Amino acid sequence: MLKRGSTIGILGGGQLGRMMAAAATQLGYKCIGYAPEGDNVAGELCEDFFTNRWDDKAALAAFAARCDVVTWEFENVPVETARAIPAGRIFPDPRALETAQDRLNEKRFVEGLGGRPAAYAKVDSPSDLEAAADRLGAPGILKTRRDGYDGKGQWRIMSGRDAAGLKLPDVSTIYEGFVEFDAEFSVILVRGQDGEIRFWDSARNVHEDGILAASLLPAGDIVEPQVAEARRLAGEVADALGYVGVLTLEFFATREGPIFNEMAPRVHNSGHWTIEGAATSQFENHIRAVAGLPLGDTRTVAGVIEMRNIIGSEIAGAHAFLAEPDCHVHDYGKAEVREGRKMGHLTRLTRA
């Protein structure tokens, strides 16, 4: 158990790290961040911040020496960077990054645990893509196996002609067949160092232009009957990885049951509602887990909840939402405002 005043290192400098640092401070810990140059908004809440390349071994060693434990807020932190932190002082285990960073490996891993991903095929050449579109059908989506988020690194294939005419990116890719779904939802859990797992209620997620627009609770009659099966898979994933901290799995709700979409080995955008809407937020419970503290209660404390992302220039008028009863605004403090960028979020609550 991490004693009061200890230092938690955070790999990554975005808004998730910022909210993680706020939770850590509340619990009496200090935070130090580490990320390459950029709009590292987490640094505003950290005692210190290392602005160095991911492969800077000397800087990583200096960073690790000042931290009692290290975690990450960004799933694209290089595995080699995470492994540079001494074993037993970084949570979750870097195996989680290694699994989630390659979409092909991730799907095979989940299949091995009995999960059902969308039909997929490895694509390394134009002929592979044409064969995949022919076998799995179109429409479908071609995705880079690594990197990519919020709709980036993805190409919709509407027909075999699209597959034949697309110039492939110079990286490994994967083709996913189209899934007919009624809703999207996420399962967010926290797993402690002793193996205890707790789940938050699942939100129904609404995407616009490949970006999460809103998360809604209750999730509704389409989603709720499928949550138990999805939770079973998420728990098995967490146990198989020896996971410590908050883990997110995203699903499609279909007539055949939940279809696995992807996992995020970190706190998640669709869990931001937990700050005001749950007894213990995902950020506090992540810190509790990596610090070896008892996990907090994850029950929902409001009857109806809407979390909505504030995108791009919408941030300029965000304070107007505070006129609404029980509406909470979070501004991430990002200096550069651009369309499609998550600048903050708001949470509306209707108390039970």
Q: Tens digits of per-residue pLDDT, 256-294?
A: 999 999 999 999 999 999 999 999 999 999 999 999 999
Q: Is residue 125 part of a domain?
A: yes
Q: Is residue 99 part of a domain?
A: no
Judgement on whether residues 139 and 264 belong to the same structural domain of the protein: no
Domain boundaries, position 207? 183-350
Residue 167 above 80 pLDDT? no
The answer to whether 154 is a known ligand-binding residue is yes
Judgement on whether residues 228 and 329 belong to the same structural domain of the protein: yes
CB atoms within 10 A of CB 127: 11
DSSP3 helix / strand / coil % (the chain, rounded to 5): 30, 30, 40
Q: How far is CA 241 from CA 99, 181, 195, in A?
A: 9, 28, 11
Residue identified by tokens 């990197």 is 147
Judgement on whether residues 75 and 135 belong to the same structural domain of the protein: no
Task: Band the pLDDT of 320: cuts 50, 70, 90.
Answer: very high
The answer to whether 137 is a known ligand-binding residue is no
Q: Is residue 15 part of a domain?
A: yes
Strand partners, 262: 250
The answer to whether 179 is a known ligand-binding residue is yes
Say what the pLDDT of residue 259 is.
Answer: 98
CB atoms within 10 A of CB 181: 18
Q: How far is CA 204 from CA 32, 184, 201, 306, in A?
A: 34, 6, 10, 10
Smallest CA-to-CA distance from 104 within 75, 232, 112 is with 112
Which residue would you say has higher pLDDT here, 173 or 130?
Answer: 173
- We report the CATH number of the domain holding residue 168 as 3.30.1490.20
Judgement on whether residues 310 and 161 belong to the same structural domain of the protein: no
The answer to whether 50 is a known ligand-binding residue is no
Q: Are 21 and 45 in contact (CB under 8 A)?
A: yes
Q: Which residues, other chains included, contact 266 with Cβ-Cβ below 8 Å and sequence gap of 6+?
A: 16, 72, 73, 74, 75, 245, 246, 247, 248
Say what the pLDDT of residue 302 is.
Answer: 96
The answer to whether 176 is a known ligand-binding residue is yes
Judgement on whether residues 130 and 59 belong to the same structural domain of the protein: no
Q: Which residues, other chains included, contact 119 with Cβ-Cβ below 8 Å and sequence gap of 6+?
A: 136, 176, 177
The answer to whether 98 is a known ligand-binding residue is no
Q: Is residue 105 part of a domain?
A: no
Smallest CA-to-CA distance from 186 within 293, 274, 101, 107 is with 274
Judgement on whether residues 193 and 241 belong to the same structural domain of the protein: yes
Judgement on whether residues 210 and 275 belong to the same structural domain of the protein: yes
Beta strand ranges found along the chain (DSSP E): 7-11, 30-35, 48-51, 69-72, 120-123, 140-144, 154-157, 173-177, 183-191, 197-199, 204-208, 211-217, 245-254, 257-264, 304-311, 327-331, 342-350
Least confident stretch, 77-91, 135-149, 321-335? 135-149
Judgement on whether residues 67 and 192 belong to the same structural domain of the protein: no
Q: How far is CA 83 from CA 42, 57, 147, in A?
A: 22, 11, 19
Task: Band the pLDDT of 132: cuts 50, 70, 90.
Answer: confident
Q: Is residue 328 part of a domain?
A: yes
The answer to whether 150 is a known ligand-binding residue is yes
What residue type is assigned to position 332 of the chain? Y
Residue 158 above 90 pLDDT? no
Average pLDDT, the chain: 94
Segment 287-308 mean pLDDT: 98
Judgement on whether residues 126 and 216 belong to the same structural domain of the protein: no
Q: How far is CA 344 from CA 60, 294, 330, 331, in A?
A: 30, 29, 5, 4
Judgement on whether residues 59 and 201 belong to the same structural domain of the protein: no
The answer to whether 52 is a known ligand-binding residue is no
The answer to whether 122 is a known ligand-binding residue is no
The answer to whether 151 is a known ligand-binding residue is yes
Say what the pLDDT of residue 148 is.
Answer: 61
Q: Is residue 110 part of a domain?
A: no
Q: Is residue 101 part of a domain?
A: no
- We report the CATH number of the domain holding residue 264 as 3.30.470.20
The answer to whether 38 is a known ligand-binding residue is no
The answer to whether 229 is a known ligand-binding residue is no
Considering its fold, how many domains does the chain have in total? 3
pLDDT in tens, 201-242: 999 999 998 899 999 999 999 999 999 999 999 999 999 999
Segment 330-336 mean pLDDT: 96
Say what the pLDDT of residue 153 is.
Answer: 75
The answer to whether 43 is a known ligand-binding residue is no
What percent of the chain stands above pLDDT 90? 84
Judgement on whether residues 171 and 213 belong to the same structural domain of the protein: no
Task: Band the pLDDT of 147: cuts 50, 70, 90.
Answer: confident
Q: Is residue 335 part of a domain?
A: yes
Please list, residue by residue across 258-288, b when 16 or more beta carbons sit within 10 angstroms of its beta carbon and e when fewer do: bbbbbbbbbbbbbbbbbbbbbebbbbbbbbb
The answer to whether 207 is a known ligand-binding residue is yes
- We report the CATH number of the domain holding residue 13 as 3.40.50.20
Task: Band the pLDDT of 330: cuts 50, 70, 90.
Answer: very high
Judgement on whether residues 248 and 204 belong to the same structural domain of the protein: yes
Last residue of a domain, one of 74, 90, 106: 90
Last residue of a domain, one of 177, 211, 244: 177
The answer to whether 153 is a known ligand-binding residue is yes
Last residue of a domain, one of 152, 177, 202: 177
Say what the pLDDT of residue 260 is.
Answer: 98
Task: Band the pLDDT of 150: cuts 50, 70, 90.
Answer: low
Segment 53-77 mean pLDDT: 97
The answer to whether 103 is a known ligand-binding residue is yes
User: Cα-flanking dihedrals φ and ψ of residue 55, to 5°?
Assistant: -100, 15
